[in-house]
Amino acid sequence: MTDATLPSEPAAEEAPDYDAMTRDIADVPAVEVITTVAVHLLSAAAVNLGLDKPDSEHKDLDEARKLITALAGLVTASATEISSFHAAPLRDGLKSLQLAFREASLVPDEPGQGPGEKFTGPVFG
């Protein structure tokens, strides 16, 4: 291979300023961090419940239970800090996951014993 075929390194003055492009975590509002983490937990739990697509073959209720419980703890603990505007949709999503878990279980948990119900109280349809 000749030098003509090798990719050239950009000059130092042409290199992008990655520090300027990266968002400093200190600049991110707490409500944004909390809701982002909650959405990730919600999404991961939905996938583990097999809700990601019709006839999903992926179902891991043990993993879903852990994720739902973590989500319930986060939503319950942070609800007063992030306001009802942000907490209400997270609570709705959490309740939907808890009900979906109950439906997916071959042997449903007793009311109050399902994933996250130690934080939210019993969940009924």
- pLDDT tens-place string over residues 100-124: 999 999 998 999 999 999 999 999 8
| Closest to 82 measured CA to CA, from 35, 27, 25, 26 | 35
For 52-85, what is each residue's pLDDT tens digit?
988 888 899 999 999 999 999 999 999 999 999 9
The reported pTM is 0.80
Q: Residue 6's pLDDT band (boundaries 50, 70, 90)?
A: low
| Closest to 68 measured CA to CA, from 119, 105, 32 | 119
Integer angstrom CA distances of residue 104 from 32, 63, 98, 110: 31, 13, 10, 14
Tell me which residue has tokens 């992926």: 58
Q: Residue 1's pLDDT band (boundaries 50, 70, 90)?
A: low
**11 pLDDT more than 80:** no
Cβ count near 24 (within 10 Å): 7
pLDDT of residue 91: 97
Q: Residue 13's pLDDT band (boundaries 50, 70, 90)?
A: low
Contact (CB, 8 A) for 76 and 90: no
Q: CA 75, 78, 82, 84: dihedral to nearest 10 degrees?
A: 50
Mean pLDDT over the full length of the chain: 89
